[in-house]
Structure 1
Amino acid sequence: MAFLRSSSGFENSMILRGRSVWLRAPMLGDYADWAELRAMSRDHLTPWEPQWQRDELSRGAYRRRVRHYQREARDDLGYAYLIFSEADDRLIGGLTLSNVRRGVTQTSVLGYWIGKPHTGRGYMTEAVRAAIAFAFDTLHLHRVEAATMPSNAASIRVLERNGFRREGFARQLLKINGVWEDHLLHALLSSDVRGDGDAEVSAE
């Protein structure tokens, strides 16, 4: 099995693999590489993210972040991954499937970021493809949702390349870098996806 059962739910032990990337859950030992990549990419990332806190890149803030991710996975509420290049195992970004809802919904929300040195190489397209396989084949979700600012052309391309369909427009949906921003709404259904073998999931 790709999950380890704990008393409260699941612990995410999966490695997701795509053509040029692999993904695994963040660990405390990733702090230095994570902080370095986020720091050098700050100007690239802040226009698309919630406002950074004063201690955003501190070791303590990262530790709290990882513990939050671990609780979310145990309770089947969300799954966070760091993204690594297949060629050299270098950390290049991150991805989350958050706000997992069960019952009659079976849905989650996709989010992602990539470090500035690694943009434009197709890494995020492959990472999202691997996450979609995990969402539908392992979590057995019915629907994955994503929201993008209309000006974020690169993020929109990632979604479109993975088959997401634009479904609507939400006014001032999220507070991004201190400002309430409009977002385009996208979604992908499990029935939209054809198994092509491009992504695989393994437990290691």
Structure 2
Amino acid sequence: MALLDWMSEPVGPVLRGQGVILRSPHASDYAAWSALRGLSRGHLQPWEPAWPEDDLTRAAFRRRLSIYERERELGNAWPFFIFDHQDRLAGGITLSNIRRGVAETGTVGYWIGLPHAGQGLATASVRALTTHAFGALRLHRLEAACVPHNHASRRVLEKSGFRQEGQARAYLKINGSWADHLLFGLLAEEADAGGRPTS
């Protein structure tokens, strides 16, 4: 149980956006996370990699937390859970694939549970993460991708200042099949302190 004890402690920053709070996942989040993911399975699966059979189990959640912690320690990723203004778990957002040196770049990915979809929480979360990435983390560029027919995700990126830069064929394996993706980017000088586009 010692492993779960340290995982239940807050790790990393708490980010605040318009109507959202982003914080690191804790072991105590398992029940809310499992319930939200289970309820949202049909809503999320068309846009995500295939879920393992045990994906919603406590053991799989523990593995997920271990991976998150290792990635944080290496400086490769910053995973957050998204909570709404009533402190309800609404989804997740991650800054991953952080590359330092000549790149100073990271990749943004996010999901919102079905009961919270269409309320602007994804956009608020991307903006909060963008502010952190360009501020405290001093990154120069953020990247994101979505399948062409995921109009909601595309709109989130556009409203957050990301510009479409191209399309990659068979970019990621989504729901068991290789899928083309639209590629988006945002530079630090293109975002203001609130993560909004300056142009």
Q: TM-score, normalised by structure 1?
A: 0.89
Counterpart contact for 1:12–1:73, Cα < 8 Å: no
Counterpart check, 1:194 vs 2:183: no
Q: Which residue of structure 1 aligns with residue 76 of structure 2?
A: 77
Measure the CA separation in 1 of the matches of 2:159 and 2:194: 14
Measure the CA separation in 2 of the matches of 1:196 and 1:106: 20
Measure the CA separation in 1 of the matches of 2:195 and 2:188: 15
Measure the CA separation in 1 of the matches of 2:11 and 2:190: 26
Aligned pairs for 1:104-123 (under 5 A) are 104-123=102-121
Which SS does the other structure have where 2:109 is aligned? strand
Counterpart contact for 2:147–2:182, Cα < 8 Å: yes
User: Higher relative CO (CA 8 A, sep ≥ 6), structure 1 or 2?
Assistant: 1
- Runs of 4+ in structure 1 displaced over 4 angstroms? none
Q: Which residue of structure 2 aligns with residue 163 of structure 1?
A: 161
Counterpart contact for 1:100–1:109, Cα < 8 Å: yes
Which SS does the other structure have where 1:99 is aligned? strand
Aligned pairs for 1:43-58 (under 5 A) are 43-58=42-57
Identity %: 52
The CA deviation at 1:13 is 1.9
CA RMSD, 1 decimal = 1.3
Deviations for 1:18-61, whole angstroms, at most 9, x for unmatched residues?
01000000011100000000000000000000000000101000
The CA deviation at 1:195 is 2.2
Task: State the aligned residue count.
Answer: 187
Q: Which residue of structure 1 aligns with residue 145 of structure 2?
A: 147
Q: Which residue of structure 2 aligns with residue 63 of structure 1?
A: 62
Counterpart check, 1:173 vs 2:159: no
Deviations for 1:88-135, whole angstroms, at most 9, x for unmatched residues?
100000000010000100001000000001011111110110000010
Measure the CA separation in 1 of the matches of 2:195 and 2:101: 29
Counterpart contact for 1:12–1:79, Cα < 8 Å: no
Letter of the structure 2 residue corresponding to residue 188 of structure 1: L
- Residue 89 to residue 197, structure 1, CA distance change in 2 (3 Å): same
Counterpart contact for 2:128–2:195, Cα < 8 Å: no
Q: Which residue of structure 2 aligns with residue 4 of structure 1?
A: none
From the two aligned structures, give the one with the greater strand fraction. 1
Letter of the structure 1 residue corresponding to residue 50 of structure 2: Q
Counterpart contact for 1:84–1:91, Cα < 8 Å: yes
Measure the CA separation in 1 of the matches of 2:82 and 2:129: 11
Q: Which residue of structure 2 aligns with residue 201 of structure 1?
A: none
Counterpart check, 1:127 vs 2:148: no
Measure the CA separation in 2 of the matches of 1:194 and 1:27: 30
- Residue 197 to residue 168, structure 1, CA distance change in 2 (3 Å): closer
Q: Which residue of structure 2 aligns with residue 90 of structure 1?
A: 88
The CA deviation at 1:12 is 4.3
The CA deviation at 1:74 is 1.0
| Unaligned segments of structure 2, at least 5 residues | 1-9
